[in-house]
Amino acid sequence: MMNVYFLLAIAIAAEVVATSALKATEGFSRPMPSMIVVVGYGVAFWMLSLVLKSVPVGVAYAIWSGMGIVLVTIVAMLFYGQKPDWPAIIGLGLIVSGVVVLQLFSKMSAH
């Protein structure tokens, strides 16, 4: 099971890299950032498809998207100077809380 969550971590990291590079593509007019986006999303979906062999889709997607949102926000802060305000921070906290509740308390995550 730990191997599955390692694959999910790779999927999340690849999606974060791809999404973060998306802004730099300038509408896919710049080749290098565009390649990073295409390869990143390819790896992300490939790893996610492997995860879905043993983790319910709702659980895997909640973790993948929730953690992706939080990590992309952090990358945007560091590289693009985007500063979340308090409502954004609270919202991100709620996303993380929702993923934790789903993982720890939902029968959906038991497979």
Instruction: Note the pLDDT tens digit of each residue in 79-108.
Output: 999 999 999 999 999 999 998 888 888 777
- Domain with 85, as residue range(s), is 2-109
Instruction: Note the pLDDT tens digit of each residue in 26-65.
Output: 999 999 999 999 999 999 999 999 999 999 998 899 999 9
* Predicted local distance difference test score (pLDDT) of residue 111: 56
Domain count, the chain: 1
* Predicted local distance difference test score (pLDDT) of residue 91: 95
| Residue 21 near residue 33 (C-beta atoms within 8 A) | yes
Dist. CA 86–CA 34, nearest whole Å: 32
Percent of the chain at pLDDT exceeding 90? 77
The total number of residues written for the chain in this structure: 111
For residue 56, what are the CA distances in angstroms to 11, 62, 109?
Answer: 15, 10, 7
